[in-house]
Chains A and B, each alone.
Chain A
Amino acid sequence: MPIYKETYHNWYGRLKENPLTWWVIGKTGIGLVIGKSKALLILLFIASSIPFFVRAVQIYLVTKVGDTSTIIQGVKGLTIDTEFFAGFLQGQMFFLILIIILTGAGLIAQERRYKALSVYFSKPVSFWDYVGGKFIIVAFYAFLVTLLPGLLLFIIKVLLSTDLTFLKTYYWIPFAMLAYGVISIVTLGGLMLALSSAAKGTGSAAVVFIVILMFPDILSKILSRIPEVGIFSIQSSLKQTGAFLFGIPKPYEFVVYGAIFMLMGVIGLSFVILQAKIKPTEVIK
């Protein structure tokens, strides 16, 4: 039996900040999402890749066969320009919404339900690490259905082109895609996480998310005589902002800055909700 000194046991270790905690949370979560919803994810990815393959074939035909093509009706006269890429990204919005619901609705809701936040926050994990990690999970899957195929289409076009004319003319398209993709993912992903943190379960978070997206959209269609109402629709605001970023004709009559302001508001509100709801312990008064 050893004899221990009766004085204080001093600890001379050094505390260190771990700058990659958010990445650990994100990486682990990405794997867990696959484990939990493998079949649905595969189905969604297959569905979301159909427009990509269609566009890739269109690029091939237009670039390689050109105007002489009579193989597919409609290919003749199709040009691969900004509207082509903007149209593709905007078309992927449906899949973006679905993937965000599938991956994000339960991310925080389930952990709050299980009261697992206190386990996280008893570790050297800050609010930013936690939210950042959760956002990475949603953003990763959202990237796979929007930006990745969009950027791949651009690369395919560049590789199939015989000269650098296309690249010299449209070199900025990847940046526009990146900006549009980031704005869409941050707005919708942030909103989903905020709702997940505020909701009591995955289902209710998903339903509220759909209602928030659909209701103003329907309202703006009913009140089409007042174009400004469209600002309150997140999807319309995203489309308007996208058109602005790609420099193509605006689909709606309301001002672009109004749309950008609206999206910033959604991001800000989501952040406020996250800050209010993500606490290590729930205090029942």
Chain B
Amino acid sequence: MKILAKNLSKWYGPIVGVNNLEFTITSGVTGFLGPNGAGKTTLLRLLTGQLKPSKGSLFINGQKIWNNHVILEEVGYCTELDNFWDYLTGFEFVSAMLRLHGFPLSEAKKKAREAVETMNMQEFQNKRIGSYSKGMRQRIKMAQAIAHDPQLLFLDEPLNGMDPLGRRSTIDLIKQFGEQGKTVIVSSHVLHEVEEMTDTILLINHGRLLAEGNIYEIRELIDTHPLQVTIICDKVNILTSQLLEFEDVKSVQLNREENQITIETISPEKFHQRLPQLALENNIKIQSLWSPDENLEAVFDYLVR
């Protein structure tokens, strides 16, 4: 399913929630990032039809979202809030939510059972939500979000409070949904977890869209911060002297003890093209090469902080 935002704005009196957003989200997993107060929750609420845009419009598969509850048939939403229906058991909660989607009782129960199993909650399904830990609540919320097999999933901080095993299986599940062609939007502030799920992000701050697309492509576009490349090789002195001759290489840090050099380049593409040739010509054995700031954390840092 395709989500399209056009000049989307939402303000609460004088406070701007989101400001003039334009983006397209298609199938796969998209990370929805931003610091606290950036407008992530406002945007999620707009996307799930819970808030009316002050200006502009939002479409899912060409259909407007606001006041169109039928489109929510295909939407699964795992809210960040977890204080609700404490008196229901986990299973009752998931099957009641399925009934709201129009499933007959027997089918709702069957699907609820499947969703509960998917989230590894069988053992606790007949206990009241009130007695659940934060992680269990999170898993049961995920279960209700995925139970009706939606094509579009909005997950607001889905890994909050989960134990490491739960996190791992949920990350795998989210990736699996993306691979199946579902559109999954994950809002989180835990960057490394988002990075494990996807390379595609939507980064907002102060209600404005800062970046949209692949993390590595976005990183390349950030020309105010040269890309760092760390190399471990056998002839660090030779490589350092050679690299310093390149115009795009802005600095080289040498660590002789570990045979490691870290350079900063303003043209990563050119650099990566030339490096193999350079290594061949000088008979340099490169053991490893990585970019310490070519990741989500760095992109987030450079654009937001």
Contacts and interface: CB of A to CB of B under 8 A. Distances in A.
Interface of A: 2, 4, 8-9, 11, 13, 15-18, 20-21, 24-25, 28, 32, 35-36, 111, 114-116, 118-126, 279-281, 283, 285
Contact of A28 (B73, B99, B101, B182): B99
A11 B1 contact: yes
Smallest CB-CB A-B distances: 3 pairs: A9-B181, A18-B102, A280-B50
B81 A115 contact: yes
A114 B70 contact: no
B83 A280 contact: no
Contact of B102 (A21, A280, A285): A21
Main secondary structure of the interface of A (DSSP, over half): loop
A125 B69 contact: yes
Interface residues of B, number: 41
A21 B144 CA distance: 17
Interface in B68-97: 69-75, 77, 79, 81, 83-88, 96-97
Contacts of B81: 114-116, 118-119
Nearest to B47: A122
Contacts of A120: 100
A281 B45 contact: yes
Given A8-B26, A28-B96, A118-B50, 14 more contacts: A8-B2, A8-B27, A9-B182, A11-B1, A24-B102, A36-B87, A115-B83, A118-B81, A122-B49, A122-B79, A123-B72, A124-B72, A280-B51, A285-B15
B71 A15 contact: yes
Interface of B: 1-2, 12-13, 15, 26-27, 45, 48-51, 61, 69-75, 77, 79, 81, 83-88, 96-97, 99-102, 144, 151, 154, 179, 181-182
A15 B70 CA distance: 7
B50 to A, nearest CB: 4
B158 to A, nearest CB: 14
A283 B83 contact: no
A119 B81 CA distance: 9
A285 B12 contact: yes
Nearest to A113: B83
A283 B41 CA distance: 11
Contacts of B151: 11, 13
Contacts of B45: 118, 280-281
22 contacts: A2-B179, A9-B181, A9-B182, A11-B1, A11-B151, A15-B70, A16-B70, A18-B102, A25-B100, A35-B87, A115-B81, A115-B83, A118-B45, A118-B50, A121-B48, A122-B49, A123-B69, A124-B73, A125-B69, A125-B72, A126-B69, A285-B15
